[in-house]
Amino acid sequence: MKLLCTFATLVVATALTGVAHAQTRPSQVAWDLKTVNFIKSGQAERGKTLHAACVDCHGATGVSPSPDFPDLAGQDPLYTYKQLHDYKSGVRVNAIMQGYVAGLSERDMADLAQFYARQKRGGGNATPVPDAAAMTLVKLGDGGRMLVACVYCHGVGGGGNPGMYGMPALEGQKGAYLQQTLHAFASGERHNDVYRAMRDVARRLSPTEIAWLASYYSGTTVAPLAAKPASVGSAPASAPAVAPAPDAAAPSASEPVASAAGSGAGWYTPVQAERGGKLYAAQCAMCHGAALGGGMGPALAGRSFWTQWGGKPFAVAWKEVHAKMPMQAPGSDAAPVSIDILAFLLSRNGVPAGSAELNDRADLARALPAR
The site for another protein (CB under 8 A) is made up of: 31-33, 36-37, 140-144, 146, 162-165
CB closer to another protein, 32 vs 247: 32
Q: Which is nearer to another protein, 155 or 266 (CB)?
A: 155
Which residue number, 142 or 360, has a Cβ lying nearer to another protein? 142
Evaluate the omega torsion of the peptide bond into residue 326 and state whether it is cis, within 30 degrees of 0.
yes
* Contact present, 95 and 244 (Cβ < 8 Å): yes
Name 367's bridge partners: 313
d(CA 341, CA 61): 37
**Are 176 and 68 a contacting pair, CB within 8 Å?**
yes
Residue 68 C-beta: closest distance to another protein, Å: 32
The least CB distance from residue 169 to another protein, in Å, is 13
- What is the full DSSP assignment across 327-365? TTSTT-S-HHHHHHHHHHHHHHTTPPP-SS---SSGGGG
249-282 b/e with 16+ CB inside 10 Å = b?
Answer: bbbeeeeebeebeeeeebbbbbebbbbbbbbbbb
Least distance from C-beta 164 to another protein, angstroms? 6
**Residue 153 Cβ, how far from another protein at the closest point, in Å?**
12
Nearer to another protein by Cβ, of 142 and 320: the residue is 142
- Judged by beta carbon, residue 36 or residue 299, the one nearer another protein is 36
Least CB distance from residue 117 to another protein, whole Å?
15
